[in-house]
């Protein structure tokens, strides 16, 4: 139903088609219940599920939106964790390969997945971050809501002042 509503009878849906449908329908669509499904799909593919090697949406996940309970009860957190873990492992492997090559170019790793979760995890376990980098604003169960940052963290500053410290943690 979601597929037919927003993407006609396309046999596949690209991320670009999702973005176009989202921008178009959010301005003009009047059926809020159906629009929520599109918003959920957009959130799923632009926040929770990283851009992978392919640019197409998994049609099984799109179809899942037609069953509200199935979509709500799906273990999205587990999926995000697995994908983030997989991408970090791939980034570490590619960084090792680039370090083994004798090049003058600076090695870097592009983290896909949901690395924001790793940042909040670091806030919880590295007290050095709370002195000047982030501020704890609560102690609730949803730990992601307990922190705020007034500015974007600079990686070089973090590396010099946090990660190269001998007494980390």
89 or 65, which is more confident? 65
Kindly state whether residues 26 and 101 are assigned to the same domain. Answer: no
For position 130, what pLDDT does the model report? 67
Do 84 and 158 lie in a common domain? yes
Task: Determine contact, residues 80/48, Cβ cutoff 8 Å.
Answer: yes
Which pLDDT tens digit goes with each residue over 18-52?
999 998 888 887 888 889 999 999 988 887 876 66
**3-class DSSP assignment, residue 56:** strand
C-alpha torsion sign, points 63, 67, 72, 73: negative
137 pLDDT higher than 80? yes
Better pLDDT: 51 or 81: 81
Which residue carries 């609560």 as its tokens?
138
Residues 40 and 100 in one domain: no
Out of 20-29, 45-54, 97-106, 142-151, the most confident range is 20-29
- Domain extent, residue 116, equals 77-163
Same domain, 94 and 152: yes
Contacts 24+ apart (CB under 8 A), 81-89: 81/114, 81/117, 83/49, 83/50, 83/112, 83/113, 83/114, 84/50, 84/111, 84/112, 84/113, 84/114, 84/115, 84/117, 84/118, 85/113, 86/113, 87/50, 87/111, 87/112, 87/113, 88/113
Top-confidence residue, 153 or 135: 135
pLDDT at 52: 65
pLDDT of residue 103 exceeding 60: no
Check whether residue 114 and residue 132 sit in a common domain: yes
The whole-angstrom separation of Cα 82 and Cα 91 is 14
Return the closest-CA partner of residue 113 out of 146, 163, 78.
78
Domain boundary among 51, 74, 97: 74
The single residue listed with the structure tokens 């037919």 is 4
Q: Which of 44, 74, 104 is the last residue in one of the domains? A: 74
Task: Give the pLDDT score at 121.
Answer: 75
Q: What is the pTM of this model?
A: 0.63
With cut-offs at 50, 70 and 90, classify the pLDDT of residue 165.
low
């Amino acid at each position: 139903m979601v597929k037919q509503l927003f993407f006609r009878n396309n046999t596949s849906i690209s991320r670009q088609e999702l973005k176009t449908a989202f921008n178009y329908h959010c301005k003009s669509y009047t059926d809020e219940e159906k629009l929520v499904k599109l918003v959920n799909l957009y959130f799923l593919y632009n926040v929770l599920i990283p851009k992978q090697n392919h640019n197409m949406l998994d049609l099984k996940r799109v179809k899942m939106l037609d069953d509200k309970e199935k979509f709500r009860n799906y273990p999205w957190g587990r999926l995000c964790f697995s994908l983030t873990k997989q991408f970090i492992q791939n980034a570490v492997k590619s960084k090792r390969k680039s370090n083994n090559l004798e090049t003058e170019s600076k090695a870097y790793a592009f983290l896909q997945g949901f690395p924001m979760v790793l940042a909040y995890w670091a806030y919880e376990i590295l007290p050095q971050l709370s002195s000047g980098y982030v501020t704890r604003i609560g102690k609730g169960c949803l730990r992601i809501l307990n922190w705020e940052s007034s500015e974007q963290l600079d990686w070089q500053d973090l590396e010099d002042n946090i990660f190269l410290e001998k007494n980390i943690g």
